[in-house]
Structure 1
Amino acid sequence: MVPPLVADIDGTLTRPDKSIDPRVFDPLRAWEAPVVIATGKSFPYPVGLCEFLGIPLNVVAENGGCVYVEDADEVAYNGDPEGAAAVAAAYREEGYDLGWGAVDAVNRWRETELAVSREQPLAPLERIAADHGMHVVDTGYAYHVKSPDVDKATGLESAARFLDRDPTEFVAVGDSENDAAVFGLAGRSYAVANADDAARSVADVVTEASFADGFLEALESVRADGRL
């Protein structure tokens, strides 16, 4: 029996050009235990990914801010949307931009946090976030402004509760600072070789391969062990 799985998207299920590697489709579909897709992206992205993969809609979005498990038919909101909105307003008032253009598809459907382009100034964002009791995490793809007591581990706790599982039953695979918390909660964790220092430092295993190749390596290792 394989354990339940919690998997990041960007840098983990993707190729270096940020596109999803299609080789992950069949292994995710074939996984015999629950699969939770956990990401910093806004709620519709992991839901859409699960839909197109043909797997149950078990998602942790916005770094733990939004959690949905299809069978439970319930959304858990763990974030602070008012704090995120206040930071966005103050950042703009000081003359800075979020960096995503007028339409801002990155934040358009975001419900509990704020994402700012990594091309924008970080120091004033961190200062403003702290003034509003918020925290900034660098995922390697964006600066995420979120509640300091919410992270992917918080999200996994919510998802595991909906699934009637213990979080320590899960195997986690990821690549970034925002995966480090869930690595500390899951029973076993794999950082793909392209992972940042924060993720690598707390992972049980760092794969030899990067990106989706590393993800597939992790799944093969879990199947070979047959246990956590």
Structure 2
Amino acid sequence: MNKTSSFSPRALICDIDGTITDKSRRINLDSVSVIRTLIDNDIPVIFASGNTVCSLTFLCKMVGTDGTIISENGGVYRIGFAGELKICGDKDVSITAYKRLQDYFQKKGVSLELYSPEYRFADVAFAHTGDADEVREVVKDLPVKILDSGFALHIMSDYVNKGTTFLKVSKEIGISPDNFIAIGDSSNDIELIKNAGLGVAVGGGQKSAAEAADYVSLKKFGDGFSESVRKYFPSLF
């Protein structure tokens, strides 16, 4: 953590669950307020989440961003509401891994609960079942990785993450990654946090995210997000 409040970002990219919500996934209204303040002052705000494109599109419209998103933990992105949906991951390999896991857990008498499979283009997400390391061991020979967001387990191509897709997005919109502040809370935010000019982890999140960050908020979850935005955009608040 070698950066200070003197950093002056031009744009913000952030996670959703656990970052602008509380631990129960209820959106923090103060976080919405500070995001709108940024938008009203021509500061681009991009959501980068494990959630589906349709979920992020709805949130963008309700909050007021321009619709630029990174979805499925970097597996999918779009520039603006009217932009082409670009798929970075290979869903077929994720499905292959999921079927193996399904067979493995069925033999143990455990059923996996899929999350929105009909709306996913690059990854497979399912409810926490057992230990994430156990899941990783079952599919370790396949070209996939298992991400634990704290809210779900995601199977995705091993070469994709929020950080790699963030670099694509920043190039397309013409704002250097060095001019972004990135805010997240969990292990699936690590590459995003590291690739931005300044990375922030909100309090209450996973230790791995905090270790990757330049700053860890004193407050937790959405309150920590709002605290961090006010810290690094002081002239707007």
Give the TM-score, by structure 2 length.
0.87
Q: Which residue of 1 aligns with 2:24?
A: 17
CA contact (8 A) 1:91 1:124 kept: no
Distance in structure 2 (CA, Å) of the matches to 1:98 and 1:122:
15
Q: Does 1:99 align with 2:112?
A: yes
Going from structure 1 to structure 2, the CA distance change for 1:108 and 1:2 (only over 3 Å counts) comes to: same
Partner SS for 1:208 = strand
Deviation string, structure 1 residues 18-38 (Cα, Å, up to 9, x no partner) = 111122222212212211100
Among 206, 221, 224, which residue is 2:231 paired with?
221
Quick one: which of 93, 96, 100 aligns to 1:83?
93
Contact kept in structure 1, 2:132 and 2:148, CA below 8 Å: no
Alignment partner for residue 206 of structure 1, among 209, 216, 223?
A: 216
For residues 14 and 57 of structure 2, the distance between their equivalents in structure 1, rounded to whole angstroms, comes to: 13
Taking structure 1 as reference, are residues 71 and 163 closer, same or farther at Cα in structure 2, changes over 3 Å only? farther
Distance (whole Å) between structure 2 residues aligned to residue 25 and residue 123 of structure 1 = 35
Unaligned segments of structure 2, at least 5 residues? 1-7
Distance 1:50 1:71 in 2: 9
C-alpha change, 1:4 and 1:98, in structure 2 (3 Å) is farther
- Separation in 2 of the partners of 1:117 and 1:71? 29
| Residue 118 (1) aligns with residue 125 (2) | no
Q: Which amino acid aligns with 1:215?
A: F
Amino acid across the alignment from 2:169? A
Please, which of 181, 185, 204 is the counterpart of residue 171 of structure 1? 181
Give, in whole Å, the separation in 2 of the partners of 1:66 and 1:83.
Answer: 15
Structure 1 stretches lacking a partner, 5+ long? none
TM-score, normalized by length of structure 1? 0.90
Q: Tell me how many residue pairs correspond in the alignment.
A: 223
Letter of the structure 1 residue corresponding to residue 27 of structure 2: I
Please, which moves more after superposition, 71-80 or 201-210? 71-80
* RMSD, aligned CA: 2.0
Post-superposition shift, 1:120? Answer: 3.9
Secondary structure of residue in 2 paired with 1:131: coil
What is the identity percentage for the equivalent residue pairs of Structure 1 and Structure 2? 25
Q: Kindly state the Cα deviation for residue 121 of structure 1 after the two structures are TM-superposed.
A: 5.2
Which deviates further from its counterpart, 206-215 or 74-83? Answer: 74-83
